[in-house]
Amino acid sequence: MYLKRLIVFLLLLFSIIDLSAQSWPELTSNLWEEMTPSLLLEYLDHNDVNFQDSNGKTALIFAASYCQEPEVIKLLVKTGAKINVRDNWGSAGSLGIGGWTALMWAARLNPNPAIVKVLIDAGADIKTQRIPTPELIEEIVKADLEFYSHSGFDKIVDRKKLEESASEAIIGWSVIMAASFNKNPDVIDALIEAGADVNARSGGGETALMYTVSFNNNAAVIRSLIAAGAQVNAQRKDGFTALMLAAAGPEFFQDGEKPDPTIIKILLDAGADLHIQTESGLTALMAASMFNQSISVLDNVNILIEGGADVNTRDHFGSTALIFGSEYNHNAELIEALLKAGANINARNEKGQTALMVAAQHNRNPAIIDLLMSAGADISIKSNEGKTAFNYAQSNLALIGTSAYYTLSKRSIE
C-alpha cells in the first residue's frame, strides 16, 4: 500500500513540476483505488477537474469506478466535478460500454454501495439512460458477430437485424442494468432504495435480471433482484426470458470462473416458467441444448428436465431440443441426457430432418454420430429433399475419415 501511495505522490509531484500540464496523468485503476482526499487536493491544484481524456473519462468517472473512499467523491463534487457527464468509450462491444456516467460506472464496477449513494445525493441522475451512436452500434455488432462465430452462427446471422438489436439494447440501458455486472448485491439494493426501477426495460426489452444471468456469475445478485420484485418471466422482444438466457450459458465471465448451475434452480424456485417459448418457438431446454457450450450445460439440462421441461416440445419449425443439440452442441453427454429423458430420436423437423441428419451435416464431434446410431437412430430415413444421414455427412469435412463416417457409410449400404 505504501508503494502505491508513493507512486501516486510522484505522479502528483510530476504534474506540479510541469506547470503547463492541463490534463490528468494516466492513473491506473490500482492507483485510483489508493487515492485519498489529501493527495487529490494536491492533484486539483494543477489540473482541470472536468478534463475528459480521449475516452471521455473524467476524474469523477475514474474515482467512481475504482475508489472506495466516499470522501474522494465528495471532494471532487465540492470542487465542481460535473456529475452527469458521459464518456465516449465504445470499445467493449456487447458488454454495453459507451455513453456512461459516473453513476453507471460506480454501479458496474465499484463494490462499495456508499459510492453510488454519495453520487445520488450529489445529484447523479438515477434515471439516466445511454444514448446510441453509430460508432457504438458498430462496436456492438462486431462483438456480436465474434460471439456467434464461436458457435458457427456468424454465417447465418442477419447483420441488419444485429444493428437493430444493438440500437434497441442501448436505448433504455439504465443504471440498474449497469449494476447487473457488479458482484455485490448491496449495490443493487442501494440503487433500488434510491428509486431505481428493478423492472426497467431496454429498447430490446431486456431487464437487469436478464443481464445478470447472462453476464454475472453471482447467485446473490440474482436473489437480490428477485427479492426486490424482478419479474422472472418477463420476455424481451424476441421472447427470451431470464431462464432461457441462463440456460443458454454465460456470455462473459472472468478468466477461470465457472458457471453456477444453481442459478437455474433459483429462477425455477422463483416461479420461472419452463414452457414459455420465444417468437420462433424456442424453450429454455432448447436454448441450453443449442447455445450452451460450457461445462455447465449438462447440469443446466438436468435441472430443467427434473423441473418438468418437455424434451419433445417443438419450435415453430418442428425442431426439438435433441435436434438442436445434435446440430450445434459438441457435448455427447448432453445428447445422452436428452435421450435418457425420453427424447424421440427419430423426430423430424419441417425439412424432414432427424437429429442424426443434422448432426451428420453440421456437428464437428463424431461421437455425437456414434451415440445417435447406437441409440437406434434410423439411418434409412430420408429428408424432404430425399437425402439420408450419410448423404449429409459427405459434406461435413470434420466427419470424413472418422470411424463414425465409416460406420454410417457401411450401414447405409447394408
Same domain for 2 and 88: yes
Please give the average per-residue pLDDT across 355-374, as a whole number: 96
CATH number of the structural domain spanning residue 234: 1.25.40.20
In a domain, 318, yes or no: no
pLDDT at 135: 73
Q: Which three cell numbers stand for residue 373?
A: 446410431
In a domain, 315, yes or no: no
Residues 6+ apart with CB under 8 A from 414: none
**What is the domain extent for residue 36?**
1-128
If you ran DSSP here, which 8-state letter would residue 188 be given?
H
Domain boundary among 248, 281, 310: 310
Contact 180, 221 (CB under 8 A): yes
How many domains does the chain contain in total? 2
Across-strand partners of 174? Answer: 129
pTM above 0.85, yes or no: no
Measure the CA–CA gap between 129 and 201, rounded to whole angstroms: 11
Q: What is the pLDDT of residues 297-329, one digit of tens each?
A: 788 899 999 999 999 999 999 999 999 999 999
Residue 16, pLDDT above cutoff 50:
no
Same domain for 203 and 120: no
Domain boundary among 262, 283, 310: 310
Measure the CA–CA gap between 345 and 320, rounded to whole angstroms: 10
In a domain, 267, yes or no: yes
In a domain, 252, yes or no: yes
Same domain for 2 and 113: yes
Name the band, by pLDDT with cuts 50, 70 and 90, for residue 63. Answer: very high
In a domain, 336, yes or no: no
In a domain, 1, yes or no: yes
Same domain for 3 and 98: yes
Amino acid letter, residue 160:
K
Measure the CA–CA gap between 115 and 135, rounded to whole angstroms: 30
Same domain for 215 and 122: no
Please give the average per-residue pLDDT across 31-49, as a whole number: 87
Q: What is the pLDDT of residues 234-283, one digit of tens each?
A: 999 899 999 999 998 765 444 445 668 899 999 999 999 999 999 999 99
Domain boundary among 269, 295, 310: 310
In a domain, 124, yes or no: yes
Measure the CA–CA gap between 278 and 23, rounded to whole angstroms: 50
In a domain, 414, yes or no: no
If you ran DSSP here, which 8-state letter would residue 259 be given?
P
Q: What is the pLDDT of residues 116-146, one digit of tens each?
A: 999 999 999 999 887 777 777 777 788 777 7
Residue 412, pLDDT above cutoff 90:
no
